[in-house]
Amino acid sequence: MTTHRRALLAAPLLAAALPGAAGAQGTWPDRPVRIIVPFPPGQAADTFTRLVADQLSQRWPQRVVVENRAGGAGVPAMDAGARSAPDGYTLVAGSSGTLSVNPVVLPRSPYDPERDFAPITNIAMVPLLLIAHPSFPGRTVQDMERLVRQRLGDWNIASAGPATSQHMAIELLQLRTGLRFNIVHYRGSGPGLADLIAGNVPLMMDSVASALPQIQAGRARALAVALPSRLPTLADTPTIAETLSPNYRAYGWTGLVAPAGTPADIIARISNDVGAILRDQALADRFVAMGAIADPQTPQQFAAFIRQEIAQWGEVARAANVRLEG
Judge if 65 and 131 occupy the same domain. Answer: no
Q: Is the pLDDT of residue 155 over 80?
A: yes
Question: For 47-89, what is each residue's pLDDT tens digit?
Answer: 999 999 999 999 999 999 999 999 998 999 999 999 999 999 9
Residue 166 lies in a domain: yes
How many structural domains is the chain composed of?
Answer: 2
- Alpha-carbon gap, residue 289 to 6, rounded angstroms: 62
Domain final residue pick, 243, 263, 280: 243
Judge if 57 and 93 occupy the same domain. Answer: yes
pLDDT value of position 312: 97
Other C-beta atoms closer than 10 Å to the C-beta of 6 total: 10
Judge if 116 and 132 occupy the same domain. Answer: no
Domain final residue pick, 219, 243, 267: 243
pLDDT, averaged across the chain: 91
pLDDT value of position 89: 98
* Domain enclosing residue 208, as ranges: 127-243
| Domain containing residue 207: CATH number | 3.40.190.10
Judge if 39 and 122 occupy the same domain. Answer: yes
Residue 150 lies in a domain: yes
- Alpha-carbon gap, residue 128 to 245, rounded angstroms: 15
Residues 6 or more apart whose Cβ sits within 8 Å of residue 230: 237, 238, 239
pLDDT value of position 42: 86
Percent of the chain topping pLDDT 90: 85
Q: Is the pLDDT of residue 41 over 60?
A: yes
Judge if 112 and 257 occupy the same domain. Answer: yes
pLDDT value of position 11: 43
Judge if 208 and 315 occupy the same domain. Answer: no
pLDDT value of position 26: 65
Of residues 232 and 193, more confidently modeled: 193
Q: Is the pLDDT of residue 15 over 70?
A: no
- Alpha-carbon gap, residue 12 to 9, rounded angstroms: 7
Judge if 132 and 190 occupy the same domain. Answer: yes
Judge if 268 and 280 occupy the same domain. Answer: yes
- Alpha-carbon gap, residue 147 to 16, rounded angstroms: 69
pLDDT value of position 16: 41
Average the pLDDT over 249-276 and give the result.
97
Judge if 103 and 183 occupy the same domain. Answer: no
Domain final residue pick, 243, 273, 308: 243
| Domain containing residue 120: CATH number | 3.40.190.150
